[in-house]
Amino acid sequence: MIDHPELRRVPFVLMRGGTSKAVFLAADDLPPPGEERDALVLGLFGSPDPRQIDGLGGADLLTSKLAIIGPPTRGDADLDYTFGQVSITEPVVDYDLNCGNISAAVGAYAVDERLVTVTEPVTTVRIHNTNTGKVLVAHVPVVAGHAAVKGDLVVDGVPGSGAAIALDYADTAGGVTGSLLPTGATRDVLETPRGPVEVTIVDLANLSVFFPAEAVGMTGTEGPEEVTAAHVEAVEAVKRAAADRLGIAGDGLVPVPVAVAPFRPYETISGGTVDDADLCARVIGGRPPALHKAYPGTVSATTAVAAALAGSVVVDAVGTARSGPLRIGHPSGIMEASAAVIDGQVTEATYLRTARRLAEGVAYVPR
């Protein structure tokens, strides 16, 4: 390692979590939250630049992600975890949402870094996500004192298989708005340039707005090359209208916009075929907004909860209100989540992901 007068050394760990990758940084190695920290992060990732050629960013919405890990600031958690979505094209780091795929990697990271008392065969990690102010729980399989890597769980969008990490979001309702159903209803009507759109807004894991794919001119089976500028504009209009209804800023990443439709077979981005699922769902978001090539883990839990709420837009797509496992068809394949809601309280909101450590070392950032 060199000590360069023009370069700042920043220790990092690169982790894959589900269908995403993130650079993990220790809070103690960074300036306090604010412009100086964000400037350092942007330099570390090489943003803004479509290829992020001068940094560690992966030049894709799913691989330009940040996890800042620090000691817990509340007594019911083992650590603090701040998620950052690092824009590729703008000098912006967004902190207004969590990433469920990276949350799985946080659990594995906590075990390997000994941030929790490690027990076999499973270690429970209580993660305080500072973005939402809620605590989620990761159940991490452990082998020889380390987060297990090998296993039988196949995650569509990730080569091979791995050890299953169970994520539980049951206690995360109301992270942004204070309520599972921010408007008090399972269905609302929003006015958009295309006309009125029926939506369901759910605040769990990540604040999300669900709407029929046909309302924005989509089928719900689109791949990246089939999503047009008109689709993106229509989805963004629904997102802005939902933000206005909730009284929050419309230029952030939440509410996460989710187009849903009754299931029909389609081809995945890898050329395979999805022949059966409970519904089709597509997320268009990010900065700039684009179709997610997979499905956000947090949104899978929120989708499963919405499927258990009678009268929701998601129930229309599924066909009937239901608790338990829900298979969500997305561009890379199928994502399964499970939920239960009893007397308006979420008692289950879970899914499985795999994660592993990819690299660790020191990055160099221009001072």
Neighbours of 239 (CB within 10 A): 28
Burial level of 276, CB count in 10 A (0-12/13-18/19+)?
A: exposed
Residue limits of CATH 3.10.310.10 in the chain: 7-172+354-366, 188-343
Q: What is the mean pLDDT of each run of 10 residues along the chain (367 residues)?
A: 92 98 98 97 98 97 97 98 97 97 98 98 98 98 98 97 98 97 98 97 98 98 97 98 96 96 97 97 95 97 98 98 97 98 96 98 96
The SS3 of residue 299 is: helix
Confidence (pLDDT) at 198: 98
Q: Residue 210 forms beta bridges with which residues?
A: 200, 258
Confidence (pLDDT) at 1: 76
Burial 249-258 (b: 16+ CB within 10 A, else e): eeebbbbbbb
- Give the tokens for residue 182: 């921010």
DSSP result, 242-258: HHHHHTS-TTSS-SEEE
CATH number of 188-343: 3.10.310.10
Burial level of 279, CB count in 10 A (0-12/13-18/19+)?
A: buried
Please report which helix (H) or strand (E) contains residue 82, including its range: strand 79-86
At 298-324, the pLDDT tens digits run 999 999 999 999 999 999 999 999 999
- Give the tokens for residue 158: 């990730």
Virtual CA dihedral for 95, 216, 59, 83, nearest 10 degrees? 20
Do residues 291 and 282 touch, judged by C-beta distance below 8 A?
Answer: yes
Confidence (pLDDT) at 2: 85
Whether the upstream peptide bond of residue 366 has omega within 30° of 0, thus cis, is no
- Give the tokens for residue 221: 């089976």
Residue 347 CB partners (closer than 8 Å, separation 6+):
170, 340, 341
The SS3 of residue 117 is: coil
Please report which helix (H) or strand (E) contains residue 184, including its range: none
Residues 319 and 336: their CA atoms lie apart, in Å, by: 17
The CATH architecture assigned to 7-172+354-366 reads Roll (3.10)
Cα angle 204, 207, 212; round to 5: 105
The distance in angstroms from the start CA to the end CA of the chain is 17
At 154-213, the pLDDT tens digits run 999 999 999 999 999 999 999 999 999 999 999 999 999 999 999 999 999 999 999 999
Residue 320 CB partners (closer than 8 Å, separation 6+):
none
Do residues 293 and 178 touch, judged by C-beta distance below 8 A?
Answer: no
Q: Provide, rounded to the nearest whole percent, the portion of the chain with pLDDT above 90.
A: 99
pTM for the full predicted model: 0.95
Nearest Cα neighbor of 304 from 340, 261, 275 is 340
Do residues 98 and 206 touch, judged by C-beta distance below 8 A?
Answer: yes
